[in-house]
Chains A and B, each alone.
Chain A
């Protein structure tokens, strides 16, 4: 990808290069959006729906989203399930191993906010966005496979607005606090968990 990144930067500075860059962006976004390979970071219940989604009935492959267990093959990490304090460093490490550009889908309430495990527990990270930049939040406990398909399609829309020029592209990695140290504010009035 380094070559492509340099190309984008060079074209951006060239007079008239903007037109070529726009056409290149269109090609890149089209190809990226049509083959978002997933890193199935399934930890808990949502992992079952993630498996169901890629099997014969819901058939994710038709969207070009093939689950690959190796982070180095993947474009999008689907965090499906509760992330505990013990697990968070491993998730961070796997995310770091994925090549840029990379996206994160937080699947299920646990990955979005802690969900049912928001209150009273000592070991759960309240949402994967405490240490990863999340692109698509997917609510549900667990979400249906159809909603995961919708999330993938939404992500594809988002990918289609990206540019390969460094200045125009969204920030791919942001400096975030180490897992566990981040603190959310007080819980919303009324609470948000099932019960």
Chain B
């Protein structure tokens, strides 16, 4: 299966999502609703995406965009799965049951963005101290210990 066959397969499987599937730089991008993320991830794993490369998030202002990168050794292809969660109830299903690799990566996203992962076995802060207040990679993070860099440009 190559990336085009994958696209056809996903289009038949997710008819409402098909317009949102694009192939950029040889990597597929699949945008799903947050509540369908786990199903989509599970399907993709069964299709041969056996490696979870990274889990990260982007603070887009009013919501968070979660970005998962999956990789298939068989297809020599990668795919991005993106899902958006609202800022005030930032929560999404964990994929640790599919890839144990998600364990630490989701903890990192929880630590730095404050997004909770339902079903995660051990959701604690990983990089910062346990008593840290706030989630630093949020765009509205305030900390009086930060000295802003003077603007030269």
Q: How far is the CB of A73 from chain B (nearest CB, A)?
A: 29
Residues of B within 8 A of A120 (CB): 146-149
| Number of B residues, CB within 8 Å of A | 11
Residues of A within 8 A of B136 (CB): 122-123
| A119/B147 contact (C-beta < 8 A), A85-B129, A86-B128, A86-B129 known | yes
Q: Nearest CB to that of A187 among chain B residues?
A: B147
Q: How far is the CB of A115 from chain B (nearest CB, A)?
A: 13
Which B residues between 113 and 146 are near A, CB-CB below 8 angstroms?
128-129, 136, 141, 143, 145-146
Q: Is the CB of B145 within 8 A of A118?
A: no
A86 to B125, CA, bound (A): 12
> Is A121 in contact with chain B by the CB < 8 A criterion?
yes
Q: Nearest CB to that of A126 among chain B residues?
A: B147
Residues of B within 8 A of A85 (CB): 129
Chain A 106-120, CB-CB to B under 8 Å as 1, else 0, gives: 000000000000111
Q: Is the CB of B147 within 8 A of A122?
A: no
> Is A175 in contact with chain B by the CB < 8 A criterion?
no
Which of B141, B146, B147 has most A Cβ within 10 Å? B147
Which A residues between 175 and 195 are near B, CB-CB below 8 angstroms?
186-187, 190-191, 193
Size class of the A contact interface (CB-based, 8 Å) = 10 to 19
Q: How far is the CB of A178 from chain B (nearest CB, A)?
A: 14
Q: Is the CB of A121 within 8 A of B146?
A: yes
Q: Nearest CB to that of B129 among chain A residues?
A: A86
Overall SS of chain A's interface: loop
Q: Is the CB of A122 within 8 A of B129?
A: no
Q: How far is the CB of B46 from chain A (nearest CB, A)?
A: 40
Residues of A within 8 A of B143 (CB): 122
Q: Is the CB of A119 within 8 A of B148?
A: yes
Residues of A within 8 A of B15 (CB): none
Q: Nearest CB to that of B150 among chain A residues?
A: A191
A191 to B128, CA, bound (A): 27
Contacts beyond the supplied A119-B147, A191-B150: 15 A-B pairs with Cβ under 8 Å: A86-B128, A119-B149, A120-B148, A120-B149, A122-B136, A122-B141, A122-B143, A122-B145, A123-B128, A126-B147, A186-B147, A187-B147, A187-B150, A190-B150, A191-B149
Residues on B lying within 8 angstroms of A by beta carbon are 128-129, 136, 141, 143, 145-150
Ordered nearest first, which 7 A-B pairs have the shortest CB separation?
A: A119-B149, A122-B143, A122-B136, A86-B129, A120-B149, A122-B146, A119-B147
A-B contact list, 23 entries, CB within 8 Å: A85-B129, A86-B128, A86-B129, A119-B147, A119-B149, A120-B146, A120-B147, A120-B148, A120-B149, A121-B146, A122-B136, A122-B141, A122-B143, A122-B145, A122-B146, A123-B128, A123-B136, A126-B147, A186-B147, A187-B147, A187-B150, A190-B150, A193-B149
